[in-house]
Amino acid sequence: MKILVLHAHPVETSFNAALHRLIVERLAARGHEVDDCDLYAENFEPRLSAAERLAYHDPRTHDETVAPHVERLKRAEGLVLCYPVWNYGYPAILKGYFDRVFLPGVSFELVGGKVRPSLHNIRKVVAVTSYGGSWFRAALMGNPPRKLIHRVLRATVKPGAPVSFLAHYSMNLSTEGSRKAFMKKVAAKLDSF
Ligand SMILES: Cc1cc2nc3c(=O)[nH]c(=O)nc-3n(C[C@H](O)[C@H](O)[C@H](O)COP(=O)(O)O)c2cc1C
Q: In 3-state terms, what secondary structure has residue 2? A: strand
H or E stretch covering 17: helix 15-29
Number of domains in the chain: 1
* pTM of the shown model: 0.97
Q: Kindly report the protein residue whose alpha carbon is nearest to atom 27 of ligand 1.
A: 14
Q: Given a cut of 80, is residue 62 above it in pLDDT?
A: no
Question: What residue numbers bound the domain in which 130 lies?
Answer: 2-191
pLDDT tens track for 125-142: 999 999 999 999 999 999
Burial per residue of 132-170, b for 16 or more beta-carbon CB atoms within 10 angstroms, e otherwise: ebeeeebeeeebebbebbbeebbebbbeebebbbbbbbb
Among 131, 136, 173, 175, which residue has the most ligand 1 atoms within 8 Å of its CB, making it the best to mutate? 131
- Tell me: pLDDT of 176 over 80: yes
Residue type, 193: F
Of the two residues 24 and 65, the one the predictor is more confident about is: 24
DSSP class of residue 31 equals: T
Protein residue closest via CA to atom 18 of ligand 1 = 132
Residues with beta carbon inside 6 Å of ligand 1?
Answer: 9, 14-16, 84-88, 130-133, 171
Residue nearest to atom 4 of ligand 1 (CA): 86
Contact 193, 182 (CB under 8 A): no
**What was the pLDDT predicted at 172?**
93
We report the CATH number of the domain holding residue 187 as 3.40.50.360
Please report the sign of the dihedral spanned by the C-alpha atoms of residue 183, residue 184, residue 189, residue 191: positive
Instruction: Report pLDDT digits (tens) over 89-113.
Output: 999 999 999 999 999 999 999 999 8
| Rounded Cα–Cα distance for residues 31 and 50 (Å) | 41
